[in-house]
Amino acid sequence: MYDLIIKNGYVVSPSSTVKCDIAVSGKKIAGLGTYSGSEGKRVIDAEGKYILPGVIEAHMHCQAPFQGCLGANSFYEQSVSAAHGGVTMFMDFANMGKGDSPYTQALARAEEMEESAIDYSVHGKFVESTPEAIADIEKMAEYGIPTFKMFMTYKKEGVMSDDETMLKVFEKAKSVNGLPMVHCESNAIAETNIEKCMEENDLSWVNFAKCKPVLCEAEAFARAVYFQEYVGNALLVVHTTNGEALNTARRAHGKGLPLYVETGPHYLTLFDDLYKGENGHLAICSPPLRTPKEAEELWEGLKDGTILLTGSDDCTFDVDEKSLFLEKNPDGTWKQDFTKVVNGMSGIEIRLPLMLSEGVSKGRISINKVCELTSTNIAKIYGCYPQKGVIAPGSDADIVIVDMDKEVTLSKEVLHNNISYCLHDGFQVKGYPVMTIAKGDVIVEDGEFKGEKGKGEFIKRKINPDYLERYGLN
């Protein structure tokens, strides 16, 4: 007797879509094939629906102190919001300051995440390259944390990694099958532009985006890739927003460099016109929102395989935190000063719906490609495949059932991200998750969360060396 049987659905992998049943025993997938209802303690009829491996969110920032703000969600609340979007595992970043041990901070972050209702993991973070910090890379990799992030900007905030730190982290990561992750924005370009705006006393929301133009990102992207080529390591660039950067990636791929590129659905669906409004500060994130032209360049990158991952970069702040340091004009409007606004926006719950709607329903990409971009490729690159990221015997029974005919109008009332606004308010999506199953347990059904606080487990990861030595995931 199986604990769960899912019948009549279309099971999706990167390479195929097959109508078959799924049998689950305990936390694992026991088999795929044809099963009778009498063989399961519970039977779910998924007739007409698509069944994908649970979404993996490898890029979010929860309870992360930034500019005096902490964020709207606890890790448990974040896991509830995530589960409604089909997410069955997420990863966050260690909080780091100069003098901190990356290893110790990563373990502390994992402990903070124990309240999660879904499985979780952690990325290290580097802000300096002391001998002690570099030695922590091997300790993290041995513990099951083989990924480490660096920022190429935020020098004044004390979290930027300089070029020497990047090179040293790249070299050590290469020796232990680790994967550096970089946030690519030129600190010199960004800070020079911000200083000009301050001198001209024009810190409007619109100028935030102008201070960090496409070339601000593209310069840092190219520099990071040159460093990668010099050292010979694998590299992952997060939240890429434009074709200029993608062309650099294409040249790197032509040389066989193991360069992996991520983008986020907000760069595919939201644009810099949001900064023109009174509440444009709510859309401030880094890199900034671009134009429809850049969005089309990203869709091309998704289609041709230049971009192999998506991540929400969820960093959820409610209005009170986004506005915490702002002043009001005499007429009650905000006195616009983008330097006083915490960067970040919500997105973990709508990443899969947006990829289904804007990608599959509009004919841009296949549902198989969505499976890759939201789960399988992430599991492979981050080192938890085939435990995660695939519906196959022996894998964790992390499953999301999708109704491609379901239409939803996004709003703050629909979502579960614990904030009082929605940047996608009124956005129509077609294709939506209707059930989320984590390790064999139904945790979202009929819009109701049924999971348990603290049920998630820490997942130790190890990356296949093949993915770190050459470009590609086959």
Read off the CATH number of the domain in which 344 is found: 3.20.20.140
Q: Is residue 149 part of a domain?
A: yes
Q: b/e map of 19-55 (b: 16 or more CB within 10 Å)? A: ebbbbbbeebbbbbeebeeeebeebbebeebbbbbbb
* Torsion angle of the four alpha carbons 247, 270, 120, 123, in this order, in degrees rounded to the nearest 10: 40
**The predicted structure's pLDDT at residue 35:** 96
Residue 401 lies in a domain: no
Cα–Cα distance between 118 and 160 in angstroms, integer? 31
Q: Is 332 exposed, middle or buried (0-12, 13-18, 19+ CB in 10 A)?
A: exposed
DSSP 268-301: HH--GGGGGSTTGGGG--SSPP--HHHHHHHHHH
| DSSP code string of 289-334 | P--HHHHHHHHHHHHHTS--EE---B----HHHHTTT-EE-TTSSE
Whether 377 is in a domain gets the answer yes
473 within a domain of the structure (yes/no) = no
pLDDT of residue 72: 76
End-to-end CA distance of the chain: 35
The 8-class DSSP code of residue 198 comes to H
Q: How far apart are CA 340 and CA 157, in angstroms?
A: 13
Q: By the 8 A CB rule, do 267 and 295 touch?
A: yes
List CB contacts of 15: < 8 A, sequence separation 6 or more: 368
User: Per the domain annotation, does 100 fall within a domain?
Assistant: yes
Q: Which domain holds residue 126?
A: 54-384
Dihedral of CA atoms 3, 8, 12, 16 in degrees, nearest 10, equals 130
**Within-domain flag for 14:** no
Looking at residue 469, its pLDDT comes to: 96
pLDDT of 309 reads 98
The reply to whether 252 falls in a domain is yes
Q: Identify the helix (H) or strand (E) that includes residue 138.
A: helix 131-143
Low-confidence ranges of the chain (pLDDT < 50): none
pTM attached to this predicted model: 0.98
Q: What angle do CA 266, 270, 275 make, to 5 degrees?
A: 120
Distances (CA, A) of 39 to 17, 22, 23, 29, 122: 24, 11, 9, 14, 38
455 in any annotated domain: no
In this structure, are strands 327-328 and 334-335 parallel, antiparallel, or unpaired? Answer: antiparallel
135-182 pLDDT, tens digit per residue, is 999 999 999 999 999 999 999 888 999 999 999 999 999 999 999 999
Domain count for the chain: 1
Q: 102 and 94 in contact (C-beta within 8 Å)?
A: yes
pLDDT of 65 = 73
Q: With contact defined as beta carbons under 8 Å apart, do 22 and 14 qualify?
A: no
3-state DSSP call for residue 251?
Answer: helix
358/448 Cα distance (integer angstroms): 25
The pLDDT score that the predictor gives to residue 67 is: 67
Do residues 98 and 130 make contact, with C-beta atoms less than 8 angstroms apart? no
